[in-house]
């Protein structure tokens, strides 16, 4: 049985370290229960597909820190080209793809790739060297430390349960406050 999104994110917490964590859509409603760091950024408004690009920009600007992007499979399908861009950048970025086969926050519709798209194959085909697939919580718990260490870019494809009836989460703070918190945290670290 696949893991829940919350279980997947909880298993990641010990290996997050001082990295920036960008969440989108469903994960943005879960992550604030697990972390309230100024390095957390819930990227929600019109965010489907844009988080890998934002994460790459931050990873290039903060090479000593690194960035974890938690993206849904629907979001990933909207920006498959970002895999090629990530593959060609020497950035410490870890892209976590939570795959439940659904557009959860728009009504739970199955997306076009549900059940047959292979995100690991797509990432490798784009040129990403470090790609991991985790079908169960046990696999993810055992492999998260390795996957979330070392050089990037890294893609981790996690199979998770879908949750029907979800709505787009509200960010834990207004966007301007999140930007200010993140900016201040990054400035303090680099000063």
Q: Is the pLDDT of residue 5 over 70?
A: yes
Q: Output the CA torsion 71→96→17→161 (10° steps).
A: 80
Weakest-pLDDT range from 28-37, 53-62, 110-119: 110-119
Q: Across all residues in the chain, what is the average pLDDT?
A: 83
Please tell me the pTM assigned to this model. Answer: 0.84
Looking at residue 188, what is its pLDDT?
74
pLDDT single digits (tens) 37-53: 989 988 766 566 778 88
Q: Is the pLDDT of residue 22 over 50?
A: yes
Fold of 5-190: Rossmann fold (3.40.50)
Give the domain ranges of the chain: 5-190
Q: Work out the pLDDT band at 60, boundaries 50, 70, 90.
A: very high
Output 157 or 186, whichever has higher pLDDT.
Answer: 157
Looking at residue 191, what is its pLDDT?
39
Output 103 or 53, whichever has higher pLDDT.
Answer: 53
Weakest-pLDDT range from 24-33, 66-75, 135-144: 24-33
The average pLDDT across 164-188 equals 71
Q: Is the pLDDT of residue 165 over 70?
A: no
Render the burial of 122-145: b for 16+ CB within 10 Å, e for the rest. bbbebebebbbbbeebebbbeebe
- CA–CA gap between residue 140 and residue 128 (Å, rounded): 19
Q: Is the pLDDT of residue 175 over 80?
A: no
């Amino acid at each position: 049985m696949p893991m829940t999104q919350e279980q997947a994110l909880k298993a990641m917490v010990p290996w997050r370290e001082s990295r920036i964590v960008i969440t989108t859509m469903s994960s943005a409603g879960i992550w604030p229960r697990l972390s309230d760091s100024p390095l957390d950024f819930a990227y929600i408004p019109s965010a489907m597909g844009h988080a890998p690009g934002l994460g790459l920009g931050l990873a290039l600007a903060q090479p000593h820190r690194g960035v974890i992007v938690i993206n849904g499979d629907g979001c990933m399908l909207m920006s498959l080209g970002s895999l090629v861009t990530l593959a060609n950048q020497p950035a410490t970025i870890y892209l976590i793809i939570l795959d439940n086969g659904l557009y959860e926050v728009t009504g739970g519709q199955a997306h076009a790739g549900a059940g047959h798209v292979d995100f690991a194959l797509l990432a490798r085909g784009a040129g990403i060297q470090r790609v991991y697939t985790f079908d169960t919580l046990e696999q993810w718990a055992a492999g998260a430390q390795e996957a979330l260490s070392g050089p990037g870019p890294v893609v981790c494809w996690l199979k998770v349960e879908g949750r029907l009836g979800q709505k787009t989460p509200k960010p834990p703070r207004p966007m301007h406050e999140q930007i200010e918190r993140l900016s201040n945290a990054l400035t303090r670290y680099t000063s």
